[in-house]
A and B are shown apart, each in its own frame.
Chain A
Amino acid sequence: MGLQPYLILSAVVFCIGLFGVTTRRNMIGILLGIELMMNAVNINLVAFARYTAQVTGMVFTVFTICITVTEAALGLAIVILLFRVRRTVMADHLDLLKG
């Protein structure tokens, strides 16, 4: 099997994640979409690393996985903090910065 099917699979998952990010109202749902997109990026990195026989892409994937976990933990902490302040996690109700 060639590289192309892996790249297309990753593109499909990325676009589904993007759809989730743009259509979810709940902030946790938006974070789930971002996780899907990050996942698609990781598939891309590993596929390219494997098909060029270079280990660099896989090392980079280790880094992106760690960064994603940190991002998710921080994002959910912010969601919990916002819920404490505003009693809602719906993104369109969070308009504190709207003039």
Chain B
Amino acid sequence: MTTEPIAFWFLAIVLVGSALAVVLSKNLFHAVLWLALALTGTAGVFLLLDAEFLAAVQLLLYAGGIITIVVFAIVVTERLVGERLTQTNMRIGGGALVSAVLLGFIVVVLGKHPLAATRPEMPGDLTRAIGQAVLTRYVLPFELLAVLMLAGMLGAIYFARPED
């Protein structure tokens, strides 16, 4: 367990750095690529928290799926070179102030409350436990989720249909 802090700080630096690059990058296409790095770093954090299944889901759905969709959306709506891609920020001071105040608030609240310092042993295989929970106790939300995703897919196809 001595490698955990090193891995955590490495991942934290990667995650925060790439997240900053996502919001500050002038080129939107570069921002998407930085987002891919941030999502992969999150998968690493999940691995650090012993959630291998979630790390795999994260890589497949987020880093694979969302990045592809966003790249397609940029290609459809923007030119990849030229002046239009520069995302000049209008209210950068206000946004920074709001974010900093919220962050300070969260850190103060976290500092005031005692939190678990050690992690308890997880009983058995985590992936198996997730699968069993999804298909027994949480089977109704799981099926509703399928309906939601179908509705979302139909909605996206309806929006993107060719014009008559």
Q: A: which residues have CB within 8 A of B? A: 1-9, 11-20, 22-26, 28-29, 31-33, 35-36, 39, 42-43, 46-47, 49-53, 55-56, 58-59, 61-63, 65-74, 76-81, 83-84, 89, 92
Q: What 0/1 readout, one digit per residue, does chain B (28-60) give for beta carbons within 8 Å of chain A?
A: 100110010011001001100111011001100
Q: B: which residues have CB within 8 A of A? A: 4-5, 8, 12, 15-16, 19-20, 22-23, 28, 31-32, 35, 38-39, 42, 45-46, 49-51, 53-54, 57-58, 61-62, 65-66, 69-70, 72-74, 76-78, 87-92, 94-96, 98-100, 102-103, 106-107, 110, 115-123, 126, 129-130, 133-134, 138, 141-142, 145, 148-149, 152-153, 155-156, 159-160, 163
Docked complex Cα distance between A68 and B42 (Å): 15
The chain A residue with its CB closest to the CB of B85 is A26
Q: Assuming A11-B103, A23-B89, is B23 touching A58 (CB within 8 A)? A: no
Q: Is the interface of A mostly helix, strand, loop or mixed?
A: helix
Q: Assuming A7-B115, A73-B152, A80-B77, is B89 touching A24 (CB within 8 A)? A: yes
Given contacts A23-B23, A36-B35, A62-B134, 7 further A-B contacts (CB under 8 A): A15-B99, A24-B23, A28-B74, A29-B87, A36-B19, A58-B54, A71-B152
Contacts of B23 in A (CB 8 A): 16-17, 19-20, 23-24, 29, 32-33, 36
The answer to whether B77 and A53 touch across the interface, beta carbons within 8 angstroms, is: no
Q: Is the interface of B mostly helix, strand, loop or mixed?
A: helix
The answer to whether A5 and B8 touch across the interface, beta carbons within 8 angstroms, is: yes
The chain B residue with its CB closest to the CB of A73 is B156
Q: Assuming A6-B49, A22-B94, A62-B134, is B4 touching A1 (CB within 8 A)? A: yes
Q: Which of A17, A50, A65 contacts B50 (CB 8 A)?
A: A50
Q: Which of B28, B50, B62, B76 contacts A26 (CB 8 A)?
A: B28
Contacts of B66 in A (CB 8 A): 35, 68-69, 72
B71 to chain A, nearest CB (A): 10
B76 to chain A, nearest CB (A): 6
Docked complex Cα distance between A68 and B73 (Å): 16
Contacts of A14 in B (CB 8 A): 102, 106
Can you name 28 A-B residue pairings with CB atoms under 8 Å? A4-B110, A6-B8, A9-B16, A13-B15, A18-B98, A19-B23, A19-B96, A23-B23, A24-B87, A25-B90, A32-B35, A33-B23, A35-B62, A35-B66, A36-B38, A39-B38, A42-B54, A58-B54, A61-B51, A65-B57, A67-B145, A68-B62, A69-B61, A72-B69, A73-B156, A74-B152, A74-B156, A89-B78
